[in-house]
Amino acid sequence: MKIARRSAGGGATVIALDGELDLATAPEVREAVMGAVGNNGAGVAVDMSACTFIDSTGLRILVEAGRKMQEQGRKLALIGLRDQPLKIFELALGGHWEMFDVTDRGG
């Protein structure tokens, strides 16, 4: 898993994930995502366009971050959610996506 962090307009932070988000890579991803959520009054986006796999551990990290942002009156942005990661989100969340702002969602 490669993790890249960059600033976007308006002080937002984008965390780009490249590879598999699973039990082995979860601690590093959690640190990056939750660190951005906790330290940023602006937006936080997770670019999933190069994420090829996600398991329940990875899903839990993103749901936790989404809930924390929802408590702050914000949404966690997910960019480029597709293929296996998209299917996992659909199965786990059903129609309950309210903590996320999903853009560039593909099949």
Q: Look at residue 77 and tell me whether its pLDDT is greater than 80.
A: yes
Report the predicted TM-score, pTM, of the whole model to 2 decimal places.
0.91
Question: E strands, the chain, where?
Answer: 2-7, 13-21, 44-54, 76-79, 100-103
For 1-59, the pLDDT digits (tens) are 999 999 988 888 999 999 999 999 999 999 999 999 986 677 899 999 999 999 999 99
| pLDDT value of position 104 | 76
Q: Look at residue 107 and tell me whether its pLDDT is greater than 60.
A: no
